[in-house]
Each structure stands twice: as C-alpha cells, then as structure tokens.
Amino acid sequence: MEQHDSNLAVLMEIARDLTSSLAASDRYARFLSAVTRVIPCDAACLLRLEGDDLVPVAGRGLASEALVRRFDRREHPRLDVILRSADPVLFPADSDLADPFDGLLSIDHEANLNVHACLGCRLTLGTEVVGALTADALQPQRFDGVDLRVLGMLGALAGAAMQTTTLIESLELVAERRGEVARELYRSAGAGGGQILGGSAAVRRLLDEIRTVAASDLPVLITGETGVGKELVARQIHDLSKRHEEAMIQVNCAALPESVAESELFGHVKGAFTGAVRDRAGKFEIARGGTLFLDEVGELPLSLQPKLLRAIQHGEVQRVGSDRPVRVDVRLIAATNRDIAAELETGRFRADLYHRLAVYPIHVPPLRDHREDIPILSAHFLDVSRQRLGLGPVRLAESARERLMAADWPGNIRELENVISRGVLRAARGETGRGQAILVGTQHLDLGTAAQPAAADLAAADDAQAENSRLSLADRVDAFRRRAIVDAVARHGGNWAAAARDLGLHRSNLHQLAARLGLRVRKPKDSFGV
C-alpha cells in the first residue's frame, strides 16, 4: 500500500508538470528523475523516434557519449522489440539480445559490459509510435518486482510530455521564426555534421554568440585556427537566421585564381573575355535572399578587395563586361585563419574591408582550450565511423581517451575526427562478426607529433643563396622568406602547423612556398591533414 501511494504521488507530480511552463530540457529531466523514484534503475533514457533511429532527448545515469549517439532500431533488437510491443517489456536476465546501453552507464567504468537488467515501453501519440522509454540496472534481477502497469502509465505520461514539449516548442518557433514548425527544429537537431557538440564554457560562449548574431543581418567575421569548425559556425548562424529557408552559398577564396575570382563572385556577360560564351550569374546573385559565406577571405586577392567592399557598401554588384549594376540582398559571413591584424599592418588586407566584414567578430577557440569536450566529440566521431563502416558497438578504451585528452591537436577538431576514423578502421581490422563489440585502444591511434624539419638542410639552402652577392630584388625577397621559414620552423620545434600560424599562412600554403623556395620538407608517410 505504501509503495502504491508513493507511485501515485510520483505519477501525479509528472501530470502536474505537463501543465507547467517548463523548458524542454527541464521537463525531460524532471520526468526521468521521477522515473528513477518509481523504478529501481541505474540509468534511464527517453528517446525520440526519427525514421528508423532512436535519438536520446534526455538521459539519467548514462555516460555523456550515449546522449550524442543515434540508435538504429535495425541494429538494436531490444529497442526494436520495445517499439513493436503494445505493452511494456521486461527482458529476461539471460536474454541473448545485446543491450544498446552496454558499457554506457556512467557507473560502469568499462566493466560488466553485458550484465544488466533492461525494461522499456514505447511512446505513442494516438496510433503513432513517437519514441521509447528505457531503464537499465547492473544487477540482473533488479526489476523482478517492478509493476509493469506503472511502467505503462509512465510511458503514457512520457508520450504526453513529449507532445506538450513539441507544442510549446512549435509556438516558440512560430513567434521566433515566423511560422516554422517544430519538425524543422527536430530536423536540424539530429546528431550529424550540423551540430556543434560540447558542454564546456568555451563552447557555451560560442553558442551564445551564434544565437545573438543569428537574429540580426549583421556581417560576421569568424576567426580561428584551421580545423576548429568555422564553416560549421557559419552554417549554424545561417540555420538560425531569418534567411534559413534560402540557400547558404559558400565560396572558398583560397581556391579562386585571381584571373577568375571577379567573375566567380560578381558574374560576367557573354563576350566579356575569351571563353565567356553566355551570361553567368556570380555567387552574390546566386545567394540572393540567403547567405554568402566567404571562407578563407584572408586569401582574397588585393585587387579584388575594393570591388567586394563596394558590393557590401551599396548592396549591388556589376558583372564583368557589363555597365549595369545588379541589386543583391545577401547576408555576408566571412571566415579566416589568418592574423588579420598582421595582414592590415603589412597592407595585404584593406582596413576598410575588414571593418565592413567584422561588424560582429566571432572567434572559434582551438580544441586545446576546451579539452573537456574531447570525450563527447570522440563519442560522436566513433558513432559516425561505426555507421559508415557498418560495424556493431564501438567504444573507446579509457587509456585511449586519456591520450586523446592529452594530445596537442594542432589540427583541432578536424584532426581529432581523422584520428578517430583511422583508429576505428584499425580496431575493426580482422573483426568478422557483424555486431561484435570493438574497443579502440591507444595502439589504434596515431598520435605522433608532426615530423621534425630538416633544419640544417633548410639553413644550408638559405646560406647557399645568401652567399650570392649579385642577388636581384626578387631573389633577396626569396632569401628573406627562406630565412623566415627556417627560423619559424626551428622556433616551434619542427611543428609546421605552429610555424604556419606564426607566419600568418595556411599550413598547406607554407609547404608549397617552402617547396618553391627549394627547402626540403620532410613529412611522415601518414601525416595529419590540416
């Protein structure tokens, strides 16, 4: 009787929350807190059904990496059983079906991977299945005394809570996004390349900045090292802006040859130059009504910068070969890994253009400044690699996680993703059974530092040139560049990425310049891409 009264009190508390004005995260957290008071579990999870995937919207007692995964019902038979059953399901302790949360309980610490009890029920809205509620415990007999009728009531209330939250979010989106429905939020909130993952203070500040500027139409300049996710920040700003229904057109300024850069940006008319066989719109016109993202804007030729400035100032462009201006309405976002202050001092970038672009500057922090996000990012990349390779469960050994946390990451998040992808591939080598658990250890991760430069060779090449007393101006400039590169590489202990940052260059551009100047660049066979 006492237990019955306790369960009833918890159910009433959940029912009251349904009529309360709560944020989605608070509503779900309170619900799972109530679940753990009724069911003696070590972990509970509320999942939303998206196609064939179950996506966690809230969890309790689970490792952080579990909450960024997508669980395909076709790969997780227990979840499929729960979704197919009209009644709550209590799996027998000796069930041979793998539990989707094996090894993912926060108190598990890589032990007892396949020893815990599991129960769950599906969530429905009318006749539609919209999700699932699961509970897990390490002790096999933990749920023997659970009243499944109470679980069924919790499932019904969870479905209602999800519906209430959906309606509230829908109303908020109508007000903030002028009629956009809640499914758009769900579409963009999936675990994929469009998410900025992390809970550190640095990432929270970044997300706050994104939300602040997204609501406006101000030009944004995104700065940060290579691989930190500047493009992802630009995409997030666009997706949260009033222009989100239109396209975001991206231009890689570093890949634009100076001879065609003006035509690419502003377009041309037929006959404007050899090969111009028809009129062609430029990227400004294509992006009309949406967002134009100028990536690596620091590489834009100096000759083109005044024309870009005019387009921003007057909201119009002029196609090559035409004397008629074309009005354009675009939101401008630019990104660079260069030290713009240094570029301004040397005259390689116009100050007036910089001030037009940097109306709202956003700096994306390097990974070394928010190392606490590495476990969550690693879990996400593990899951992406697992899906790409068609593998079963993939986990990271604690020793490997510690190595990842301690690494320098000159290539930032992009380098982390590459290391994880290669590690999963190596760990999966020789595994023949689909569904077999794979553990990625330190032996699978190539975390060596960048190759040391042949400093003596570089210096010798420089000295050989310097000894020539009849150097032309161009040769003297090359000699200066050669010495600057040698000094920068030596100053940073052979780290070419750090030397490139010091010199205000992209790493690949530094390697190309060094090769042109006759400097031998020794790199490992499997070097990290930056």
Cβ-contact 522, 451 below 8 angstroms: yes
Distance of CA 180 to the CA centre of its chain: 24
What gap in Å lies between CA 169 and CA 396, rounded to an integer?
A: 35
Domains of the chain: 2-174 (3.30.450.40), 201-363 (3.40.50.300), 367-444 (1.10.8.60), 455-516 (no CATH)
266 burial level (CB within 10 Å; 0-12, 13-18, 19+): buried
What gap in Å lies between CA 75 and CA 98, rounded to an integer?
A: 10
pLDDT in tens, the chain (530 residues): 444 445 555 555 555 555 555 566 677 887 888 888 888 888 999 898 988 999 998 899 988 888 888 899 999 999 999 999 988 899 988 888 988 988 888 876 555 555 578 998 998 877 888 899 999 988 888 888 887 887 777 777 776 667 666 554 544 433 333 333 233 233 333 333 467 888 899 999 999 999 999 999 999 999 999 999 999 999 999 999 999 888 888 888 888 887 788 888 888 888 778 777 777 888 888 888 889 999 999 988 888 899 899 999 888 888 888 877 888 899 999 999 988 888 898 888 999 999 999 999 999 999 999 999 999 999 999 999 988 888 888 999 999 998 999 888 989 999 999 999 999 988 887 564 555 788 999 888 988 643 334 444 444 444 444 444 455 677 777 777 877 887 777 777 677 887 888 888 887 788 878 877 777 554 433 333 32
- What is the predicted pLDDT for the residue at 471? 58
- What is the predicted pLDDT for the residue at 169? 52
SS3 assignment, position 59:
strand
Q: How many helices (H) and strands (E) does the chain have?
A: 19, 17
- What is the predicted pLDDT for the residue at 289? 87
> Who contacts 150 (Cβ-Cβ below 8 Å, separation ≥6)?
7, 11, 38, 39
- SS3 of 236-293: the string is HHHHCCCCCCCCEEEEEHHHCCHHHHHHHHHEECCCCCCCCCCCEECHHHHCCCCEEE
- What is the predicted pLDDT for the residue at 309? 92
- What is the predicted pLDDT for the residue at 448? 62
Cβ neighbour number for residue 432 with a 10 Å cutoff? 6
Give kind and range of the element (H or E) at residue 203. helix 201-214
SS3 assignment, position 384:
helix
DSSP E strands in 429-485: the ranges are 438-440
- What is the predicted pLDDT for the residue at 217? 93
- What is the predicted pLDDT for the residue at 208? 95
Cβ neighbour number for residue 519 with a 10 Å cutoff? 22
Nearest to 407 by CA among 449, 453, 364, 451: 449
- What is the predicted pLDDT for the residue at 455? 44
Cβ neighbour number for residue 114 with a 10 Å cutoff? 10
- What is the predicted pLDDT for the residue at 291? 92
CA distances from 28 to 17, 121, 188, 292, 387 (A): 10, 16, 19, 38, 28
> Who contacts 407 (Cβ-Cβ below 8 Å, separation ≥6)?
447
> Who contacts 243 (Cβ-Cβ below 8 Å, separation ≥6)?
289, 290, 291, 331
